[in-house]
Chains A and B, each alone.
Chain A
Amino acid sequence: MSRQPIDFDEKPPIGIDEELGMFDKPENVKRLLRIFYTSVVLLLVVDIFYHKHAIFAWEGYFGFYAVYGFVACVILVIVAKYVLRPMVMRKEDHYDD
């Protein structure tokens, strides 16, 4: 690190309590979430009308990819949080003797 100049002494361009950014305003976040939920629903609706040409039969089932993506991520998070983390998490100085 010693040779890489880092401008820590630079004054921050704006004060921390000054104007909120675009994504700090709750109404903007709400608006974004609304757009997101709408598009998710739309993507599922498309599945009713469009039959996917696929290699495996189940790929063509209604909502297969949607359900798989959702369930996969829920399982991923649950397993990582409740199974893996208790097994492997240690203090930051675990290896420092």
Chain B
Amino acid sequence: MKRVLFWIVIVVMLVGFLFPIAWVYVTSFKAPQDIFKPEKLIFRPTLYNYVYIVKTRPSLRELWNSFVVTVASTALVMAVSLPAAYSFARFNTGKGHLLFITISTRMFPGVVAALPFFFVFRDLGLLDTHLGLTLLYLYFNMSFATFLLYGFFREIPEQLEHAAMVDGYGRFTILRQVIFPLIKPGAAITTVFCLIWSWNEFLFAFLFTRRIARTVSVGLSTFWGSIEIQWGPMAALMGVAILPTLAAAWLMQRYIIRGLTFGAVKG
């Protein structure tokens, strides 16, 4: 009896969490006339919406833009955050204040940063460019990446480094051969988070890109026209845009579960 109850709760929970995602795909295969008939649970699937977004919308370009900005900004974030987090964790650089300031950038309301950047980017000609958006995402993800990595570096016992030092290895050799292999799971989960957040980000992309560097999120919002919302094509593009996040999560699944249990316990 208790087992049955347990499974009922699990099923209800899964339906609750997964239904909207499943509905994205269901909707994307509906023909235009079926979109407005929710009572028709069984319908004839069609690729109409997918063909539509490829043929008449700049969706492929938007996907490409998202890809470029996401990968570039994540690479930058890791390049900045990895050494900084190591420094915070091992040497307590800035005695905690600096770390708190870093974390606090994440609590800035997005629009606080958006206003000044808008003017500067306009003057520098960075509006609607990949570079501009990449820099914004560097700012956007850096603080949380540093915070996460800080937790992971803290997990690595300092004695390991001391032992290697006693053995006569230099600082950089130790970093490469002792620390790096140990931080890999943590770095992997941080990378995935940065990738997913940049990919999904909307506010900055919406304010800072118009036509050339428009990302998928902004592309999705343009299906909401002045007269009606094109649900079908929108769902199709959503379905495509979701796939990379799922793939990233799937590839990193092992690391994510390990990384989360690692980092979260100690906070």
**Does B bind A?**
no
Q: Which A residues have a C-beta under 8 Å from some C-beta of B?
A: none
